[in-house]
Amino acid sequence: MIAKAIFAALMLLPIAAPVAAHEYTVGSLVIDHPWARATPPGARVAGGYLAITNTGQEADRLIGGTAPDAQAVEVHESSLSADGIARMRPLAEGLLIPPGETVTLQPGGVHLMIIAPTKALKIGESYSAALRFESAGEVPLEFDVVSIGGQPASEVHGSPQ
Ligand SMILES: [Cu+2]
């Protein structure tokens, strides 16, 4: 009876989840649930977030990406300066994905920066892009676009390179 109840509960999970999780695989890398924040029209950048798990034996590096509706996709790192202002800079060497580990890109930390999007990212839509890894190569994916909320007003963007 208990097993049956658990099974029934599991069957309900995908319906209960507000946004269906989605993942992508390239080589030994698994990319989980890419999401991005909606932007007002004319925004110069948009943030993209996801988790990358390296199931292989060798390290890899996320070095950037492309999007049909943007100038580029860069890997950025945010940090808080002594005066409390959030700043970000492109990671010139890319982001290391060690074997056996999961690296999470999230607001306030390492993130993807969609540079000069040519159309606004709208809530509920998906945004197409492709990520490039040093070893695994390129993987096309879709970001789920969610509401703007939580973006620090004092955030200062470094000049894109
Ligand atoms: Cu950034």
Predicted pLDDT at 81: 81
Residue 53 pLDDT > 50, yes or no? yes
Q: Which CATH code for domain 21-148? A: 2.60.40.1890
- How many whole angstroms from 19 Cα to the centroid of ligand 1? 24
Task: Name the residue ranges covered by the structural domains of the chain.
Answer: 21-148
CA of 108 to the centre of ligand 1 (A): 9
**Per-chain residues with Cβ under 5 A from ion ligand 1:** 76, 88, 113
pLDDT in tens, 59-77: 999 999 999 999 999 999 9
Q: Where does the chain show beta strands of DSSP type E?
A: 23-26, 29-37, 45-54, 60-66, 72-80, 86-90, 95-97, 102-105, 110-115, 126-133, 137-146, 156-157
